[in-house]
Chain A
Amino acid sequence: MRKLRHWGPGLLLLSPSLILLAVFVYGLIAWTTKVSVSDEHNALGSKGFVGLENYTKLFTNDINDRFTHSLKNLLIFTVVFLVGAMFFGLLWAFILERGIKAEGFFRTVYLFPMAVSFVASGVVWRWLMNPNKGESAGGLNSVLGGLGLDFLQNTWWTNPDWGMAAMAIPAIWQLSGYVMALFLAGFRGIPQELREAAAMDGASTYRLYRNVIFPQLTPVALSALIILGHMSMKMFDLIMSVSGPQWLTEVPAIYVWQTLLTSDYAKAAAISIILLLLVAVVIVPYLIYTNRQEKNA
């Protein structure tokens, strides 16, 4: 009874959100899992349990290896996006941290693209990344042509091998500012005493950053990577508005959508679960890590 008085009220307070989460998140994950091991391939409904057949088919028996192709696209996109956004975010944060004039102004300028929705910016980038070259060039290609930099003209996202790298450009543009903000907060969180101590020890600026500041930023970098990483893996709206759903730029999230539109619920559920697992592989170790850190603190 005493115990109940201890945790009971807290539980009561949490219960609405717990119930909502249980039903709308975990309940639906369970339901999706159930659909993914059924043979509900059309509006007819399920006739039975087929085990992992939907999953193995995705990897071994999909027409034109469509699913593995979408995974490959996702991999290229994610790597380029993460590297690009981390690089520019860190660079800008570093410059601002060095005490540039009008910091507030530049901070806003860099962060602002984040306020634009992927759909809106995607439509603009669709036009900017027009794949025509030479005479009929448009968007970025015509700018490059006008500057006499014709050799830089590019087929952008329509390139069959590296198109997804071009697709990452709008995402980098949009989220570098956010990474910058994270890093800037990280820089500001480092106590002034550490810098002073390093200065007292006669450390050069390079040494100061290399051995004192950057190690302190590791948790921030990790958080940024996780946040961007899970966004990247679920990327849908940007690609839908730049290229629309099509083979060239298909990623698992778009494949799910395409499959759902054709009423192949089992296959769509299987892809969703794989996507969930992929994101979980990244998120769960991070959650464990932060949990441990907090306990230690």
Chain B
Amino acid sequence: MAFSPVKGGGRGGRTGFTRRAAVAAVGVAALLTATACGSSDDSSGGGSGSTKVEVFTWWADGGEKAGLDGLVKQFGTDCAGQTFENGAVAGGAGANAKSVLASRLQQNDPPDTFQAHAGAELQDYINAGQIEDLSADYDSWGLKQAFPQGLIDNLTVDGKIYSVPANIHRANVVWTNKKVLADAGITKDPTDMAGFIADLDKVKAKGIQAPLAVGKDWTQLMLFESVLITDLGADKFTGLWTGATDWNDAGVTKAINDFKTLLTYTNKDRDALDWTDAEKLVMDGKAAYQLMGDWEAADLDAKKFTDYAWFTFPGNGDTFQWLADSFVLPKGAKNAEGTKCWLKTVGSDAGQKAFNTTKGSIPARTDAKPADYPKYQQAAMADWKSFKQVPSCAHGSACSQGWQGAANSALGKFSTNQDVAELQKAMATAASEFVKK
């Protein structure tokens, strides 16, 4: 085992400079230059008049990859003459892809289209003038009629729409373990906060210490947002993210206190868990409830756990908190025509069906046929049509990435000290820093 010497004891070379060394030095320098040149010209394929559409996503495996494959197949039939080029960057729940994308956009080398959460998360790209307005295409493709008005409102920034959502997920859903609830004698879903807390007490009385399972910061943010919807109502909740509702509002204080009460029913190791760990608590019967997005249905099915049920977060009424993956048209895309055809496919009935039946989400279109989809999705599709749409900050449809980071951090701190006034102040400061920026 070689130990590095503590002090560099290199003997100074006084032996003169030989010709051979000079040749070696020049050789090394030449080599370096050669490699530098060599690596610069292999990324510039394509060129103008390209028929390739490079689709940049972080869908590299699982149901997401299957969904993408379905979409690609549809693209092949709809857009003959164009070829799909997979630009997926795997890992980090999109974090890796986002950093690669940021540097490509900065170097003016955008992919033909890229995946982004619909809504406020696009704000940075819009501000930077990196993506094109698609409002006119929305009209020509008939998407304004196909998508519900609430979604169109949430997507519109200063009168313009910049992205085409490929799917819709719902965030404000509580997942339950039927057996645990039956043991506790709970037969009806709670419809308000008081009822929910009464049920949590019933489950706790059966010896389940932490009836409500949560994970680390962002899952707590999701729970907090649901409580906010209950205490403020859909419109005031949406206003929190647009600047119309003040975070110092008394309703927010009430929501934080309710959230604090709910945290007393949750697992103590919450900061150490991811959402799948919390999901396992429900599956193992160590918890009765978990608030999570509706990708949990697909995940529970994949894990062959059938004894689950779901209800809208108590007090949320007919509010549908949505989040969506969407595609955009970057400025300077090499093949804008091909990209538009891709976007048209993404928004089309056939495209949405090909993508969502495999990914476990629902189509953004209200004219999709429920019979094509599994059980949970059918219920969600019916709600999507008739409910009021509100965005989600934890998933980027309500707030920019910076705001999201600040909110996660504030919730992380609240998890450790439960200081109501401090959380409210932190959220208010974050809002003043990030709203409309």
Contact = CB atoms under 8 A, between A and B. Distances in A.
A130 B98 CA distance: 31
A222 B365 CA distance: 67
Contacts of A192: none
Given A9-B21, A260-B99, A263-B102, A243 B28 contact: no
Contacts of A243: 271-272
Contact of A261 (B17, B95, B105, B128): B95
B143 interface: no
A130 B413 contact: no
Nearest to A104: B1
A261 B22 contact: no
B54 interface: no
Contact of B413 (A64, A185, A223, A290): A64
B269 A246 contact: no
**Ranked 4 nearest A-B pairs via Cβ:** A247-B412, A9-B17, A160-B416, A262-B402
B22 A246 contact: no
B29 A16 contact: yes
B303 interface: no
B277 to A, nearest CB: 10
A64 B21 CA distance: 58
B7 interface: yes
28 contacts: A9-B21, A12-B26, A13-B21, A43-B128, A64-B409, A64-B413, A111-B1, A131-B268, A132-B269, A155-B268, A155-B269, A158-B271, A160-B417, A181-B1, A182-B3, A185-B3, A185-B5, A243-B271, A244-B216, A246-B217, A246-B412, A247-B411, A250-B409, A258-B409, A261-B405, A262-B404, A263-B102, A263-B402
B417 A12 contact: no
B272 A130 contact: yes
Contacts, number: 132
A12 B25 contact: yes
A223 B127 CA distance: 49
A31 to B, nearest CB: 13
Given A42-B127, A108-B1, A258 B25 contact: no
Nearest to A114: B1
Contacts of B102: 43, 263
Given A64-B422, A261-B99, A293-B7, 12 more contacts: A9-B21, A15-B25, A43-B130, A63-B406, A63-B429, A63-B430, A132-B269, A155-B268, A160-B416, A185-B3, A185-B6, A260-B99
A27 interface: no
Interface string B403-424: 0111011111101110000100
Contacts of A157: 272
Contact of A259 (B22, B32, B405, B426): B405
Contacts of A107: 1
B124 interface: yes
Q: Secondary structure at chain B's binding surface: helix, strand, loop or mixed?
A: helix
Interface residues of A, number: 50
A119 interface: no
B216 A246 contact: yes
B347 to A, nearest CB: 25
B127 A247 contact: no
Contacts of A42: 124, 127-128, 400, 402, 437
Interface in B80-132: 95, 98-99, 102, 105-106, 124-125, 127-128, 130
A16 B34 CA distance: 13
B200 to A, nearest CB: 18
A244 B32 CA distance: 38
A186 interface: yes
Interface string B1-27: 101011100000000010001100110
Contacts of B1: 107-108, 111, 181
B366 to A, nearest CB: 33
Nearest to B422: A64
A136 B272 contact: no
Contacts of A44: 124, 127-128
A243 B272 CA distance: 6
A66 interface: yes
